[in-house]
Amino acid sequence: MRTTQRYSTVAIVLHWLIALALAAEIALGFAMPKDASGFAAFQLHKSIGITILALSLLRLGWRVTHARPAPIERGVTGFLAAAVHVGFYIFMIAMPLTGWALVSTDPSDIPTLLYGVVPLPHLPLGQGVNGLAGEAHELLAWGGLALFALHVVGALRHHFLIRDGLLARMGGGGFVLAMLAAVLLLGLGVFAYEGGFSQRAEHDHATDHASDHATDVHCDGDQQTLADDGHNHVHEDEAEDETADSAEDDQQDEETVAEAEPEVVEPVGPPPSWAIQPGGTLRFAIDNGGTTLKGSFANWSGSIVMDPDAPQSAKISITVDLASASLGDATQDTMLWGGDFLDTSSHAQATWRSSSVRRISGNRYEADGTLSLKGKSRPQRIVFTLNGSGKTRSVSGSATVDRKAFSVGTGSNAANLAPSVNVTFAFDAVS
């Protein structure tokens, strides 16, 4: 029996959009580096995953409100085909939800900025479900691959063996076969690319450590370096920083260095890590009805991996202990730490992480990133200047922070405060 009934154009477009997105997403999920170097891939994974959730809800909505072609097969195979379709709908919705639950309950509390623009709030779940969400997310991925295999074998069976024209229902025989090829190629391509990226990152990791050893700049108690306070998780999985300082890691480093030695002679090395030297300053100033309130943070730390000549590969993150903020006056400080302003009892730290860094001119740079403060994550630009040359640089810079975007200064005490806070910093860094 041949069939000419088709799915509606909307259903067909959504079917193929979701199939392509899923192919890229599963491949990315499996291949993305599960350490600090995977930060950008993780943000992309989360962005595509939430897009799939939205498209799948749309598709499900369309399916229940619009007629679709009647099933053309009965019996066991007809039941199996219908079961695979139901399984797919469950998969398309449960997969992003478990992923979302996973990041919402991770102890490292990494904010998500979809496509670098839209903040994704955490789901209101306890950390107790984190392990379960992780297991479910991985198990579902394998389930999805099994459904995919059954679905494709079923479709090809109709096309090549039964020859009932079923593929025409999803856009036409040739078109469906072309889309199948596109789905497979996209999945394999992303997997190979991300896998290759992982290996490159591992290589960078090894050479990073090699240069650490060569220049003898490794984290120690006095220097505020990449992971000196353990708050620089970059990836949901308790990812320790690449230069985490422990005897155990050092031992592993030696092994990695030994493995990497032949590679170290490559002319283009990884960007150097810079250790922030003690004595730096992080200050803020804000106009309060004509007078300027000035304060500073005593405790902050940061991680800088940057080649001043190739800033596009830089990764910078800064963590600030909010309770170390002071205006130099005990009464004002109590107010500053309180719920109307920094709310330090609920939000001990603020973090800023770079997403892209570029040179404006000469030794001046501009870095876009995400500031997470008081439970909110927003895009935040920083500009800075590097003075000096070689392995020691003086860094100074500033940022204008829109305090209202972070609900800082909400009560009547803030009535005369200007909307923006001027933040400045200065420190020396050694590579």
DSSP 162: I
Please count the residues of this chain forming the interface with ligand HEM, following the rule CB under 6 A: 46
Angle at the Cα of 233 from the Cα atoms of 45 and 320, rounded to 5 degrees:
120
Binding to ligand HEM in span 14-73, by CB under 6 A: 15, 18-19, 22, 25-26, 29-30, 34, 45-46, 49-50, 52, 63, 68-69
Contact between 166 and ligand HEM per CB under 6 A: yes
Minimum CB–partner distance for residue 131 and ligand HEM (Å):
11
Q: What angle do CA 49, 53, 55 make, to 5 degrees?
A: 115
315-340: buried (b, 16+ CB within 10 Å) or exposed (e) per residue? bbbbbbbbbbbebeeeeebebbbeeb
Work out how close the CB of 301 gets to ligand HEM at its nearest, in angstroms, rounded to a whole number.
Answer: 25
Side-chain-facing half-sphere of 390: CA atoms under 13 Å: 2
Distance CA 80, CA 56 (A): 21
Provide the minimum distance between the beta carbon of 38 and ligand HEM in the complex, in angstroms, as a whole number: 9
Structure tokens at 350: 């603020």
> Which residues, in sequence order, are bridge partners of residue 63?
none
From 161-169, 251-259, 325-333, 384-392, span contacting ligand HEM (CB under 6 A):
161-169
Q: Pseudo-torsion of CA 404, 407, 408, 409, nearest 10°? A: 80
Q: How far is the CB of 110 from ligand HEM (least distance, A)?
A: 9
Token pair, residue 155, equals: 């479709």
Q: State the residue for tokens 């909505």.
A: 61
In the complex with ligand HEM, the residue whose CB is nearer, 25 or 204, is 25
Between CA 27 and CA 141 the distance in angstroms is 10
Q: Which stretch binds ligand HEM (CB under 6 A): 149-157, 259-267, 339-347, 418-426?
A: 149-157
Residue 406 beta carbon to ligand HEM: minimum distance, rounded to whole angstroms: 22
Phi and psi at residue 281, in whole multiples of 5°? Answer: -130, 145
34 versus 218: smaller Cβ distance to ligand HEM: 34
Classified as helix, coil or strand, 224 is strand
Cβ 317 vs Cβ 331: under 8 Å = no
* Rounded distance between C-alpha atoms, residue 308 and residue 154, angstroms: 55
Query: Rule CB under 6 A: which of 204-263 touch ligand HEM?
Result: 236-237
CA 94 vs. chain centroid, Å, equals 20
Amino acid 100 reads W
Residue 103 in contact with ligand HEM, rule: CB under 6 A: yes
Q: Which is nearer to ligand HEM, 108 or 410 (CB)?
A: 108
Q: How far is the CB of 193 from ligand HEM (least distance, A)?
A: 15
Q: How far apart are CA 92 and CA 140, in angstroms?
A: 10
Minimum gap (Å) between residue 169 Cβ and ligand HEM? 4
> In the set 55, 105, 136, 169, which binds ligand HEM (CB under 6 A)?
169
Binders of ligand HEM among residues 295 to 334 (CB under 6 A) are: none
Selected binder of ligand HEM within 40, 141, 327, 335 (CB under 6 A): 141
Minimum distance of ligand HEM from residue 235's CB (angstroms): 7
Shortest distance, position 396 Cβ to ligand HEM, whole Å: 36
When the beta carbons of 176 and 318 are compared against ligand HEM, the nearer one is: 176
Dist CA 345 CA 359 (whole Å) = 38
φ and ψ at residue 366, rounded to 5 degrees: -130, 130
Q: Which stretch, 86-94, 284-292, 330-338, 373-381, contacts ligand HEM (CB under 6 A)?
A: 86-94
Of 35, 37, 43, 100, the one binding ligand HEM (CB under 6 A) is 100
Judged by CB under 6 A, which of 2, 66, 85, 200 binds ligand HEM? 85
3-state secondary structure of 99: helix
The verdict on 280 binding ligand HEM (CB under 6 A) reads: no
DSSP code per residue over 256-314: HHHHHGGGTT-SS-PPPEEEEPTT-EEEEEEEETTEEEEEEES-EEEEEE--TT-GGG-
| Amino acid identity, position 30 | F
State which residue, 32 or 210, has the beta carbon closest to ligand HEM: 32
CA–CA dist 33, 205 (Å, integer): 12
**Considering only 147-155, 198-206, 281-289, 392-400, which stretch makes contact with ligand HEM by CB under 6 A?**
147-155
SS3 417: strand
How far apart are CB 197 and ligand HEM at their closest, in Å?
A: 15
Is the CB of 10 or the CB of 310 nearer to ligand HEM? Answer: 10
Which parts of this chain interact with ligand HEM (CB under 6 A)? Answer: 15, 18-19, 22, 25-26, 29-30, 34, 45-46, 49-50, 52, 63, 68-69, 81, 85, 88-89, 92, 95-96, 99-100, 102-103, 112, 134, 137-138, 141, 148, 151-152, 155, 166-167, 169-170, 176, 180, 183, 236-237
